[in-house]
Structure 1
Amino acid sequence: MVVINRRAARAAVVAAAGIAVLGLSAVTASAKADYGFKVGPRTVKAGARVHVKGYAAKDDDLFQKFCVQERQGKASWRTVKCAHGAVFDGGSVDTWVKAKHRGTLQFRGALYETDWGSNKLHLQLVTPTETVRVR
């Protein structure tokens, strides 16, 4: 009876170790994203310019492109400018945007990526939204 319990315990330890190794390999295989996004100043007069700067990249081997997007109030997002993009690097954008109307102007960065065997870009990452008040 003691031999069966030792074998069962040994099999359980080997199985647990195997599951742990598979779990760790799955975690290390995921692509990691890096981004930065800044907007300033936070309050401007109508007609003034807002400085928008950002970058993004993921460490997978697909073509990536980083874009800066804006929206006024609750309107839909509009792309202001995009980087050229590359494999492993979405690129960076450094631009000025004119605040034309009073209200709330929102900015965000968006990283697009292609699928294998496709030239179509798909949205992969969106930075937190930065808000500018236009007086």
Structure 2
Amino acid sequence: MSVLNRLAARAAVVTAVGISALALSVATASAKVSYDFKVSPHTVKVGAPIHVEGYAANDSDVLQRFCVQQRQGTGSWRTVKCARGAVGDGGKVDTWVRAKHRGALKFRGALYEADFGSTKLRLQMVGPTETVRVR
């Protein structure tokens, strides 16, 4: 009887290890996004230049494009500049923007992707917002 208990315990351990290995392989198969976004300086006078740079890419093999967007106060988001983009790489944007009005000027990075067999881009990911105070 003790031999059967040892065999059952061994089978349970092997099954548990197999299930956890399967779960880890499924979790690591998800797409990974590389994202980097910087805005400087964070306080400027009206008319001063603001340096905005960013990069984003998803490891999936679809057409991607990275864009920098801005909005003044609570207005709508407006695209400042987009990278050329490519399959598997959203691209890099490095640009300067002039602060035209007082208040909070917000910037964010957005990664757009196209479905397989399509060239129509859809919003895939939006990064955190960086705020510049314009005096």
- CA RMSD, Structure 1 to Structure 2 (Å): 1.5
Aligned ranges 1:111-122 → 2 under 5 Å: 111-122=111-122
Which residue is equivalent to 1:73?
73
Taking structure 2 as the reference length, the TM-score comes to 0.90
Following TM superposition, where does structure 1 have runs of at least 4 consecutive aligned residues deviating by more than 4 angstroms? none
Which residue is equivalent to 2:109?
109
Q: Distance in 1 between matches of 2:116 and 2:30?
A: 16
How many residue pairs get matched? Answer: 135
Which residue is equivalent to 1:63?
63
Taking structure 1 as the reference length, the TM-score comes to 0.90
Is contact 2:63-2:119 (8 Å) kept? no
Aligned ranges 1:13-28 → 2 under 5 Å: 13-28=13-28
Shift of 1:108: 0.6
Shift of 1:28: 2.0
Which residue is equivalent to 1:33?
33
The residue type equivalent to 2:63 in the other structure is F
* CA deviation profile, 1:38-65 (whole Å, cap 9, x unmatched): 1112111222221111111122211111
Higher mean C-alpha deviation, range 77-86 or range 116-125: 116-125
Shift of 1:31: 1.7
Identity of aligned residues (%): 71
The residue type equivalent to 1:108 in the other structure is R
The answer for unaligned runs of 5 or more in structure 1 is none
The answer for unaligned runs of 5 or more in structure 2 is none
